[in-house]
Copies of this chain bind each other. A is one copy, B any other.
Amino acid sequence: MGILERIASMPERLVIGVASSGSASAVRVALLRLKGTGLSLSWTLLAHDSLEYSFKVRDLILRCSEPGGGDATLICRLNVLLGELFARAATHIAGRAGLGIGQIHLIGVRGQTLQNLPAPVTLTGVAVRSTLQVGEPAVVAERTGVTTVGGFGARDLAAGGQGSPLVSYVDYLMFRHRARGRLVISLESLTSLTAIPASAGPDDIIGFDIGPGSMMVDDLIAELTGGSETRDTDGRYARRGTVLRGLLARLLEHPFLQQPPPRSCGREEFGRHFLKEILRENPGASREDLLATLTRFTAEAVAGACRRYVMPHNVYEEAVVSGTLVLNRYLMEQVREAIPELTLTESGEYGLPVSSKEAVCYAILANESALGTPNGFPTVTGAGRPAVLGSITPGFSGPAAPRQ
């Protein structure tokens, strides 16, 4: 029996999800017990954690994340370095749940995005749409011995999709409801949205990247503190500032926010070069005022996306929010203020701790890939067909079989 058959034949699977945060600040990791697949999937979260990158690792990532940044030697090494860190994160979370890594059946990996270039360019006469993640699955599979699925986004892009938000498939499995229309809003380094009308089938789902999340705020803090701080914990600085109205208005005119879905964004739109432009244009602004403005920008972008592309088309009563940015109470106040017509529920109320969201998502996507269940979501990403995303790197299958 092949390795995937063994995985598929199990009544339940222990699956780890590992996701490098888009803000390049940490590895999120979660361990789940999964049964079934597709609409019959049921899940139990056994453990989750977030492991911070060192300043040096974050710096290496950011160097490769700017347009034209990095070089081949660095990317070659960073790919393996992150693979090693992912493997350690997986082993750590198994231990946290009292398990050895050898007891785990499957790992899903979302690598660190260095570049996200879904807009076609013509290169030597060939239309090219591309995305680049690092964090080598072969290293994870070899260090842990566990079959590892990665490369989800690359396949969605190849299938004509935007490569994002891949989380919408999992949002649909988790939060669809017969009688209630729900928005599921992910507040991470970037923000995205999945709109699930009551009784929705897969083709009724809308999902897209909203835009900026913690990425700009984190980058600004790092810039202003010379890297000694990397986040505005709980909106501590932002809360003391005053929103700069002119700047906010200009931010909300960002071309990405005007782009109809499907759409996906990354550092190309909201990375450090964009931040530097803001700092250049507002030389006298205080840290507090800038952070207040960027935080309000995120909240307004979320509200604008809901009002413009989603709420006119269906009835939604509830917005389920998840993602590490939910832990920023100040931002959450701003979001609540910006869309008072929606009831905001934290995903923790449904058993999904807000900061476990991304890692949980990639555990579930890996489960589907290993079982051959299509986990691409064409109506969301714009792909041409519901592909089985990802590439599967085999783990150890026990002692190697003798060569025949």
Contact = CB atoms under 8 A, between A and B. Distances in A.
A158 B83 contact: yes
Contact of A79 (B71, B81, B132, B155): B132
Contact of A128 (B4, B67, B81, B387): B81
A57 B124 contact: yes
Interface of A: 2-5, 8, 36-40, 54, 56-57, 60, 64-81, 83-85, 114-115, 117, 121, 123-124, 126, 128-132, 136-139, 141-143, 150-151, 154-155, 157-159, 202, 369, 371-374, 385-388, 390-394, 397, 400-401, 403-404
Contact of A403 (B38, B60, B78, B371): B38
A115 B76 contact: yes
21 contacts: A2-B372, A3-B372, A36-B404, A38-B404, A39-B403, A57-B124, A60-B124, A67-B73, A69-B71, A69-B73, A70-B71, A75-B132, A77-B128, A138-B154, A138-B155, A138-B391, A139-B154, A155-B393, A374-B403, A385-B400, A392-B393
Given A126-B84, A202-B403, A76 B2 contact: no
A75 to B, nearest CB: 6
9 smallest CB-CB distances across A and B, nearest first, come from A76-B132, A142-B158, A76-B115, A70-B72, A80-B130, A138-B155, A138-B154, A391-B391, A391-B393
Contacts of A392: 391-394
Nearest to A130: B80
A81 B125 CA distance: 10
A158 B141 contact: yes
A178 to B, nearest CB: 16
A401 B5 CA distance: 17
Nearest to A389: B138
A75 B72 contact: yes
Contacts of A39: 403-404
Contacts of A115: 72-73, 76
Contact of A124 (B54, B121, B386, B394): B54
Contacts of A159: 142
B400 A374 contact: yes
A246 B114 CA distance: 47
A202 to B, nearest CB: 6
A35 to B, nearest CB: 13
Nearest to A132: B76
B40 A404 contact: yes
Contacts of A8: 2
A371 B397 CA distance: 12
B72 A64 contact: yes
Contacts of A85: 126
A296 to B, nearest CB: 31
A232 B324 CA distance: 59
A202 B403 CA distance: 9
B403 A373 contact: yes
